[in-house]
Amino acid sequence: SVKPGRVKESAVGLECELYQSIDIKAPGSDDEVTHTLVLGLIKQIHVRRAVLTTDGSAADPAKLRAVARLGGSTYAQVLGGFDLPRPSWATRRPAKTDSAGKP
């Protein structure tokens, strides 16, 4: 077992295992890799209690003060959140049709 390094000042830490890395090539190039997309499986999450909601069930965006990278050297602060209900696929799914397109 390897004990992964963590950033002391960070309120959240993720222990990940490499799932896949995908080389991104420059447009119009067959071999010039300019970026690599790394996908990981999260194995363990460490969260400071100080950034949790009162009941401890989730991170409080106002306490967490997360930063998001938007692209290039542009970043944004996440200062709040909102709930957006997800529609049920069962009620949104198109009706099944036969090969002629009839229900």
pTM of the prediction? 0.62
Range name among 13-17, 22-26, 48-52, 96-100 with the lowest pLDDT average: 96-100
Report in angstroms the alpha-carbon separations of 83 from 80, 86: 11, 9
User: Is the distance from CB of 4 to CB of 15 less than 8 angstroms?
Assistant: yes
Q: Please, which residues bridge with residue 15 across strands?
A: 44
- pLDDT tens for residues 2-22? 677 889 999 999 999 999 999
Helix (H) or strand (E) holding 90: helix 89-92
The ranges assigned to domains in the chain are: 12-92
- pLDDT tens for residues 49-68? 999 999 999 999 889 989 99
